[in-house]
Amino acid sequence: MKIMVVGSGGREHALVWKISQSKRVTKIYAAPGNGGMKDLAELVDIKASNTVELADFAQEENIDLTVVGPEMSLALGIVDEFRRRNLKIFGPTQKAATIESSKVFAKEFMRKNSIPTAGFQVFDSSLEAINYIRSASFPLVVKADGLAGGKGVFVCRNFEEAEESIRVIMLESKFGQSGEQVVIEEFLEGREMSFMAVSDGKRAIPLITSMDYKRAFENDQGPNTGGMGAISPAPQINTNLFDNIMKTIIYPAIEGLKFEGKEFRGVLYAGLMITKTGPYVLEFNVRFGDPEVQPVLLRMESDIVDLLEGAAEGNLFDIPVEWDQNVSGCVVLASKGYPLKYETGKKINGLERAKAMGVEIFHAGTQMKGGGYYTSGGRILNVCATASSLEEAMKKIYDAISFVSFDNMTFRQDIGRKSK
């Protein structure tokens, strides 16, 4: 079986790593991939946004299954293009992906389907949005409507911060067309959790839970990022909460999308706030979380290809998924300045010594030059490990990190060491 993974980040490296363990797989392609994947997959020089070119390649090479990592590819309609050619692909259609690509659609969809979420208002005028917050209660949350790489959400403690967020999104157009509308919603108190389920459009198989750390700095300070680390399982999970999330959030979302003619095949990711009154949805995503999926995949004992193929074919009936009972963690090594301005082209040292510590290292923003690795983005590496306790897993990770270095390297030193 030949499989192509679309994308170039840590999430995609982790998917390639897990897929490579399948006895069913004879060849893996990564498009465009990164240098860290080269021992597991053949790198294909096609950008993840070039949906037609990717479909051409899949057709020419007789790819049996394509697995899509980034949300942008899904929002651009890569699944629709592949399905038109009868090519098997894991991921939702462009219409179904709207639940991530438009926060306005997602919020209104949740309200319509009685899925618990924070109260909200939608504005397409910056003047009206600013007038609204003059009499609003703080803190509150301001969100750009469209995709913003995990950076379009602002938690605002006062009027000045909210006004600045609206200005950045709508007037400065920091996120382009994604900022033509904003959602302003009430602030929820609680603990965040990531919940992912794989769906074939009718059924849903939940993955084990995880919790990510969005803020750039220790103690959850600084700007939101794409994620600075994650642990699995989420510490607040229990059987009742797990069942409640499936019953009140995951199934209603899948059924609601199907009712609207947007049958969902792929990963439905619910970013949750666990409050005193129960779970509320902060956002829906339509792909594996990054870096949440890295520690999750470390604990998956089943063949992931069975799960991905079953969802793509619309048939997840009787596909077992088994999990390691150990816990796992992931710490992101980033370029100083991320998620704002940062430098690239810095040589990365110590990877072999770090790997010898018993960790898995998934590459994100790296490129290979002259036999060495260099930084090429904001989030550079994901250092991950499993162990019988969270403390042991995190010690293994941080001990390994001590051997890695590149100019202006930064990372959070509190992942897994405190409650969020």
Task: Please check whether residue 236 lies inside any domain of the structure.
Answer: yes
pTM: 0.94
First CA to last CA across the chain, in angstroms?
A: 42
Burial of residue 397 (number of CB atoms within 10 Å: 0-12, 13-18, 19+)? buried
Answer yes or no: do 297 and 218 share one domain: yes
Task: Indicate the residue among 313, 340, 366 that finishes a domain.
Answer: 313
Answer yes or no: do 307 and 236 share one domain: yes
Q: Enumerate residues 6+ apart whose C-beta is below 8 A from 26.
A: 1, 2
Phi, psi angle pair for 415, to nearest 5°: -65, 125
**Biggest CA pair distance of the chain:** 61
Answer yes or no: do 87 and 130 share one domain: no
Determine which helix (DSSP H) or strand (DSSP E) holds 313, and give its type and residue range. Answer: helix 304-313
Task: Indicate the residue among 138, 159, 180 that finishes a domain.
Answer: 180
From CA 228, how far away is CA 375, in angstroms rounded? 16
Q: What is the DSSP letter of 346?
A: P
Answer yes or no: do 209 and 284 share one domain: yes
From CA 203, how far away is CA 157, in angstroms rounded? 40
Task: Please check whether residue 322 lies inside any domain of the structure.
Answer: no
pLDDT, one tens digit for every residue, the chain (420 residues): 999 999 999 999 999 999 999 999 999 999 999 989 999 999 999 999 999 999 999 999 999 999 999 999 999 999 999 999 999 999 999 999 999 999 999 999 999 999 999 999 999 999 999 999 999 999 999 999 999 877 899 999 999 999 999 999 999 999 999 999 999 999 999 999 999 999 999 999 999 999 999 999 999 999 889 999 999 999 999 999 999 999 999 999 999 999 999 999 999 999 999 999 999 999 999 999 999 999 999 999 999 999 999 999 999 998 989 999 999 999 999 999 999 999 999 999 999 999 999 999 999 999 999 889 999 999 999 999 999 999 999 999 999 999 999 999 999 999 998 644
Q: Enumerate residues 6+ apart whose C-beta is below 8 A from 247.
A: none
Answer yes or no: do 288 and 331 share one domain: no
The CATH number that applies at residue 66 is 3.40.50.20
Sign for the pseudo-dihedral over CA of 188, 189, 190, 192: positive
From CA 188, how far away is CA 146, in angstroms rounded? 21
Q: What single string gives the DSSP state of each residue in 111-156?
A: HHTT--B--EEEES-HHHHHHHHTT--SSEEEEESS--TT--EEEE
Answer yes or no: do 201 and 289 share one domain: yes
Sheet containing 182-186, strands listed edge to edge, beginning at the edge strand earlier in sequence: 120-123, 182-186, 140-144, 153-156
